[in-house]
Chain A
């Protein structure tokens, strides 16, 4: 879909200055009066005020206070608490009880304000006009997509089935095929006249219906209502129309909407990015109820006007557009295909952006073997802060050595030493625990330059010699060349 030049400038001409309206911040003092105030001790902090604080930062939820649910007298307060703590963006569930995705449920605009909830769901598109064997292949690709990253598996979440054949029977057949091969939640993308027959096949899986537009909202709305399915609203570059559609269909009794304002990679990307940004700000900071729904990004649209571009180039562009939409708040994406090279960066971006900014990311403490070290090889120590760890690993991967990852409680070397999380005792502990002494002849450990001040303490605690390494791990190679191997090449030293 492409916006005309005129439309793409619409949002600029609409600019009207307005007084700053900040969202009401929920504080513990707003929550506390509604709690039982008995300090019964059944929640982790044991006291109601502590519980109120943890409700505020969402580290606990209302379910952690059993009396609220057990005793009838709290019913009214529970209702008020639920309203108070409701996310600014509605959480919409797509899929069956057994296999579902939750999208939206957002609490804040920017991740540092608290954290993002419900990582952007990624669906892969299947056209019913495709050949059967291709459909099978694509489903298999989605099912088998897996990448191991910082201790977890990155996978794809959904399948979207689009009617391009404009044939009810074919649409139904493809839906059946997909349903047989996978239990992933689905999006059904079709005209109202095509949709229903296929929808019936997977009615119990509660698929997302795509989409009500200004032209078909009556028929599509009626189907969504009948089958109680979440409904996508598509209103390219027209937020007013989008809101009108939500407003109307909401009055019909439909509750779960997902909003698609369009996607363009090209000069209209300014409109795409700004529309998404405006909608999310309106929902979170201005409490615009008609926009308080998950946002859907469909970068796959760029394939519809491929203009003779190669599939690689289209995958490239799609991945770029999807990434920008992911940064600008979309809760769900539909992409063309589970092509590894173009999909992996998207999944890693999602993982990174949805990390809880309050929790440092850490790796398991312990021994790591790099290359093919022998009994003369150097032993280096670093922290278990994931960023530090992976940076160090990247810098030394061409060497043969041992790395001891000390438990710095997920902090970087500098912060861990300042905060006494990385101490001589911790290093002595990892030397014992790793049984490194059985693997090497020497007793010399190389510590990060930023840990220089621990040298004496470590020597006392371990009886090892301590060599203070460079301040940045990019210098390790040069450092070892000079300080470990000297002028002579010791056995075990190799540039691979």
Chain B
């Protein structure tokens, strides 16, 4: 009976609204166990203002009911409840059907293309590599897969040094005694970690370190070539005078293998360019976070070799240590290349292992958490960011970082890479 009464009252209220469009209730008390509202379609109720006013009125009504303690069991009707009760014709401005929208992919046409660079040569091609690595060939920004296909998977080179150097503990723990022997270290990287290339750094040739003679250094290069069947990058010490002697000799003993000579710089490029031309190798063109320098160096190198014998290394800063400058230069080089700047249309290579230069990666500090996770994660995140900037070859150090980046590349390429990297972290799973 009570219910009917309430209904009747609300009905009256609605009719009043119909007539007057506005209504003030004064000195009214209501009590009810349940409020059910049925409102018929009505001209006066059309339109947003009235709809909202009605909602508010009903809410106020509900609140007043509770406040007054007249009917504790009643919760004020929410707009949701009101809406579900009010039928659609009443509320044309609040569609209850989805307003379907279309989406067109934002595809652009790019006039330029990164050249394809082949590293390594198989037996048929006059070398002894088990496989070769091809990178480049893209004609869209990094992994804009909606605009074009990524022709070749970016590759990972494992970093190997020709003498024991000070390495962060998490890296040491992964490789153990192999670190004492560059040949064993290379083998482990290829067989256990699955790198695509080996980057052999002949740092001991530096006159300020051990001044290893060129003749001795190239013996190690030959030994590594005999042991692993992946293509290799051979790095000098960075001492321009010594590198000018070392790298041409490396080019000579690696004849037929199409290795990467690392590196040509604005200080010392001609001997490397000549050697690469004569023995058909690839040049790593290294400049220091400066697009114009990268262009300038390429212009010089292009007098001797075509674009497909050059990899641009625009310098990879560690996360937190100038990372953004490196990231942006890489992104700009990629964009310039696909927009048609043919002096920059080479794949880019990154010394991603520089990540370990960040003290946050290796420092022993309990507050920062276990460094066996922190360090490789630092390297991984830098690599993933550089991957999205347009890097084609990563030179990396830690197995877990290498595995993760390899997995992500595999997923982005649409392939599957079920192997887990967690064994290198010792976290299981």
Near B by CB (< 8 A), chain A positions 238-293 give 239-240, 243-248, 251-253, 266-270, 273-274, 277-278, 281-282, 285-286, 290
Instruction: Number of A interface residues at 8 Å Cβ cutoff, please give it.
Output: 88
* Distance between A420 CB and nearest chain B CB, rounded to angstroms: 19
Report how many A-B pairs have Cβ atoms within 8 Å.
222
CB of A339 within 8 Å of the partner chain: yes
CB-CB under 8 A from B388, the residues of chain A are 273, 324, 327-328
Q: How far is the CA of A315 from the CA of B429 in the complex (A)?
A: 13
Interface string of A468-480 (1 = CB under 8 A from B): 0000101100110
CB of B101 closer than 8 Å to a CB of A? yes
Q: How far is the CA of A164 from the CA of B422 in the complex (A)?
A: 29
> Which stretch (B90-98, B121-129, B185-193, B341-349) binds chain A?
B90-98
A320 at the interface (CB under 8 A from B): yes
Contact flag A341-B78 (CB < 8 Å), given A357-B328, A482-B208: no
Chain B positions within 8 Å of A327 at CB level: 384-385, 388-389
The answer to whether B324 and A352 have CB atoms under 8 Å apart is yes
B242 interfacial contact with A, CB 8 Å: no
Find chain B residues with CB under 8 A from A18 CB. 104-108
A324 touches B384 (CB 8 A): yes
Interface size on B, residues (CB 8 A): 76
**Set of chain B residues within 8 Å of A349, measured between Cβ atoms:** 319, 323, 381, 385
- CB distance A341 to B369 under 8 Å? yes
Tell me whether A345 is interfacial, beta carbon within 8 Å: yes
Q: Which residues of B contact A240 (CB under 8 A)?
A: 100-103
CB distance from A417 to the nearest CB of B (A): 15
| CB-contacts of A304-325 with B (<8 A) | 308-310, 312-313, 315-316, 319-320, 323-324
Of the candidates A16, A266, A346, the one whose C-beta lies within 8 Å of that of B107 is A16
Residues of chain A within 8 A of B28, CB atoms compared: none
> Which residues of B sit under 8 angstroms from A290, Cβ to Cβ?
101
Across the two chains, which residue of chain B brings its CB closest to A277? B144
The 0/1 profile, CB within 8 Å of A marked 1, for residues 357-370 of chain B is 11110000001111
Binds A, one of B227-235, B244-252, B371-379, B391-399: B371-379
Identify B83's interface contact among A218, A391, A479, CB under 8 A: A218
A489 at the interface (CB under 8 A from B): no
Instruction: State whether B80 touches A219 (Cβ < 8 A).
Output: yes
Q: Does B412 contact A (CB under 8 A)?
A: yes
User: How far does the alpha carbon of A480 sit from the alpha carbon of B114 in the complex, in Å?
Assistant: 43
CA distance A158 to B162 in the complex (A): 48
Of the listed residues B95, B319, B357, B374, the one surrounded by the most CB atoms of chain A closer than 10 A to its CB is B319
Q: Does A331 contact B (CB under 8 A)?
A: no
Stretch at the interface among A38-46, A68-76, A222-230: A222-230
Of B95, B101, B317, B321, chain A has the most CB atoms within 10 Å of the CB of B101
Question: B20 at the A/B interface (Cβ < 8 Å)?
Answer: no
Instruction: Kindly identify which residue among A111, A247, A269 contacts B412, using a CB–CB cutoff of 8 Å.
Output: A269
CB distance from A464 to the nearest CB of B (A): 25
Q: Are B79 and A345 in contact (CB under 8 A)?
A: no
Q: CB distance B99 to A247 under 8 Å?
A: yes
How far is it, in angstroms, between the C-alpha of A339 and the C-alpha of B377 when the chains are bound? 13
A112 at the interface (CB under 8 A from B): yes
Please determine whether B101 and A247 come into contact, CB atoms closer than 8 angstroms. yes
B80 A223 Cβ-Cβ under 8 A:
yes
Interface membership of chain B positions 200-242, coded 1 if the CB is closer than 8 angstroms to chain A and 0 otherwise: 0000001011000000000000000000000000000010000
B98–A348 contact, CB under 8 A?
A: no
Nearest B residue to A220 by beta-carbon distance?
B80
Report if B269 contacts A (CB, 8 A).
no
Determine whether the beta carbon of A312 is less than 8 Å from that of B373.
yes
B377 and A319 contact, CB distance less than 8 A: yes
Task: Report yes or no: B331 in contact with A20, Cβ–Cβ below 8 A.
Answer: no
- B302-339 contacts to A (CB < 8 Å): 317, 319-325, 327-328, 331-332, 335
Known A-B contacts A274-B143, A345-B381; A269 and B322 likewise in contact (beta carbons under 8 Å): no
Residue contact A345 to B377, C-beta cutoff 8 Å: yes
B106 near A281 with CB under 8 A, answer: yes
How far is A319 from B425 in the complex, measured between Cα atoms in Å? 15
B332 CB contact (under 8 Å) in A20, A112, A217, A479: A112
State A367–B32 Cα separation when bound (angstroms): 79
A345 touches B83 (CB 8 A): no
Q: Is there an interface contact between A313 and B385, defined as CB atoms closer than 8 Å?
A: no
B416 on interface, CB distance cutoff 8 Å: yes
From A7-15, A57-65, A120-128, the one touching the partner chain is A7-15
Highest count of chain A CB atoms <10 Å: which of B84, B93, B94: B94
Q: Are B427 and A312 in contact (CB under 8 A)?
A: yes
CA distance in complex: A470, B412 (Å): 42
Q: By the criterion CB–CB under 8 Å, are B317 and A226 in contact?
A: no
List A residues at the B interface (Cβ < 8 Å): 11-12, 14-20, 110-112, 149, 192, 196, 214, 217-219, 222-223, 225-226, 239-240, 243-248, 251-253, 266-270, 273-274, 277-278, 281-282, 285-286, 290, 308-310, 312-313, 315-316, 319-320, 323-324, 327-328, 339-342, 344-346, 348-349, 351-353, 355, 357, 386-387, 390-391, 394, 397, 472, 474-475, 478-479, 481-482
22 A-B pairs whose Cβ atoms sit less than 8 Å apart in the complex:
A11-B145, A11-B146, A12-B145, A16-B105, A111-B324, A149-B320, A214-B98, A219-B80, A223-B80, A251-B93, A266-B411, A312-B427, A316-B427, A319-B377, A327-B389, A341-B371, A342-B373, A344-B374, A345-B381, A349-B319, A387-B325, A482-B208
The 5 residue pairs across chains A and B that have the minimum distance between CB atoms: A341-B369, A478-B208, A387-B322, A243-B101, A309-B429
- Kindly list 9 other residue pairs between chains A and B, CB separation below 8 angstroms, not including A218-B80, A247-B98, A387-B325: A18-B105, A214-B98, A222-B79, A244-B100, A274-B146, A285-B106, A313-B427, A316-B427, A323-B381
